Amino acid sequence: MASEDVKRLKGEIKLIVDGKRLDGRAFDELRPIKIEAGVLKRADGSCYLEMGKNKVVAAVYGPREVHPRHLQDPIKAVVRYRYNMAPFSVEERKRPGPDRRSIEISKVSREALEAVIMKELFPRCGIDVFVEVLQADAGSRTACLNAASVALVDAGVPMRGMISSVAVAKVEGHLVLDPTKEEDFYGEADIPFAFFIRNDKIESIALLQMDGRVTKSELMEALQMAKKGALEIYRMQKEAIKSRYIIEEADENE
Amino acid sequence: MFVFPGDFLGYAEEYVPGEGVYEEEGKLYAATAGEVVVEDKVIKVRTVKEIPEVGKNDIVVGRVVDTRNSFAMVEIVRKKGSERALRHYDRALLHVSNISEGYMKNLENGVRYWDIIRARVIDNNLRLSIKEEDMGVIRAICRVCGTPLVREKDKLKCPECGNVERRKISSYYGSGEW
Ligand SMILES: [Zn+2]
């Protein structure tokens, strides 16, 4: 990585060549996405998701009894979210256990999901969402949120809508959708978004973070770009649930 | 029609919202993924995965967590036909009059603390009955030494210390099924 840094300083690494990104995508193009719902037998709902090189799996348990009891809320369910990276998910082995970054990601992701989960239906209960990153690339938090949203639908947890998440980065003066690790690493800004989507329309922003520098107009442009990307992801999330449901139907008829 | 959470289903004037449907500003939306069903103006979503709720006539399995003179409190863990944690986990009540067909004076001849029982829910206030032959205790431990008791005809015997105890024994006792 050190020699790459030197190259970068010398301007030898170009992230955008002839209006194309290193992996050949257009500025507003997503990485390949693969989504499969209901992959875990013991979880109430689950989802495996690939977003570029990210490979993540989400598991939902609940509504169920909350332990310890003092965490119970008498009028609504408590949502817990754990984002965790497997030690082998990154190039250099990561020490297992939570760190500052994963605690922060867990918090903002939980808040995004709380915007849609109908917690008031389950007083004193807990809804637990676990997301494990098996292989990490840029945007693992967005991949995890997309997986968690599908897993919650798979679990039959009542929700006002769905959450779809994608990031936008600024690279060599251009805004790019769904950045890769290189674009995130050498870019000027990284802006993860998550949206509350209802009835095929974006209702509101459920998560917005920003690292780096952009102008006000660039931020607005990034928002438009992210909305378009999120709606594409939303369609794929629905497709994943639908195909799982139709397969189950066929099994029952055998 | 297959819908997803958030899909618009109609207006509140047209339908009454049922299971899996919510209302917001006069509009009805799906709360879960599944098939839309309309019956007598009630619109609901037959969800892809149900969150079990216990009601009258359901068969449940649970543990006796408290006994009093005339009743026992039972913590229900599962409803028959579902492998999933229940939507509500309130304690259920087993009254001494619902233990056997005949008169039972002492509750402790029917169930004891820490027994696991298979029971039928007899109303919507989580009252239980174990009168039926296949209902009753399915696992119990010796109150002297804590060893699981083994069925011997109509009694339970401890294989370790020889202690004999009475219960309302389910035909499922010791089978590992319920
Ligand atoms: Zn004994």
Residue A180 neighbours by CB under 8 Å, 6+ apart = A21, A22, A23, A31, A52, A53, A137, A138
- The encoded tokens of residue A200 equal 């095929």
Cβ contact, residue pair B48, A162, below 8 Å: no
Residue A238: the pLDDT is 97
User: Confidence band (pLDDT; 50, 70, 90) for B156?
Assistant: very high
Segment 13-42 of chain B within 8 Å of chain A by CB = 20, 22, 24, 29, 31-34
Mean pLDDT, contiguous 10-residue spans, chain A (254 residues): 53 79 94 97 97 97 90 95 97 94 97 96 95 97 98 97 98 95 92 97 97 95 98 98 79 53
The CATH label, of 3.40.50.1580, 3.40.50.170, 3.30.230.70, 3.90.1170.50, for the domain at A16-246 is 3.30.230.70
Three-state SS for A156? coil
Residue A10: the pLDDT is 53
Residue A80 neighbours by CB under 8 Å, 6+ apart = A110, A126, A127, A128, A129
Q: A185 in contact with B at a CB cutoff of 8 Å?
A: no
Q: Which of A125, A196, A158 is nearest to B17 (CA)?
A: A158
Give, rounded to a whole angstrom, the gap between the first and last alpha carbons of chain B. 37
Query: According to CATH, where is 2.40.50.100 located in chain B?
Result: 2-47
Three-state SS for A112? helix
The CATH label, of 2.40.340.10, 1.20.1050.10, 2.40.50.140, 2.60.120.10, for the domain at B58-165 is 2.40.50.140
Q: CB of B30 within 8 A of CB of B24?
A: no
Q: CB of A155 within 8 A of CB of A212?
A: no
Three-state SS for A185? helix
User: Domain extents for chain A?
Assistant: 16-246
* Closest-approach residue (CA) in chain A for B75: A65
Residue B131: the pLDDT is 96
pLDDT, tens only, B25-61: 999 999 999 999 999 999 999 998 999 989 999 999 9
Tell whether the model's pLDDT for residue B157 goes beyond 80: yes
What is the distance in A from the centroid of ligand 1 to the CA of B143? 7
- The encoded tokens of residue A181 equal 């690790």
H or E element at residue B62: strand B59-67
Q: Are strands A125-135 and A78-85 parallel, antiparallel or unpaired?
A: parallel
| Rounded percentage of chain B residues whose pLDDT exceeds 90 | 87
Q: Are strands A45-51 and A20-21 parallel, antiparallel or unpaired?
A: unpaired
Residue A4: the pLDDT is 56
CA distance readout (Å), B113 to A194, B117, B167: 50, 11, 11
Residue A14: the pLDDT is 83
Whether domain B2-47 has CATH 2.40.50.100: yes
Give, rounded to a whole angstrom, the gap between the first and last alpha carbons of chain A. 55
Query: According to CATH, where is 2.40.50.140 located in chain B?
Result: 58-165
- Residue B122 is assigned to a ligand binding site: no
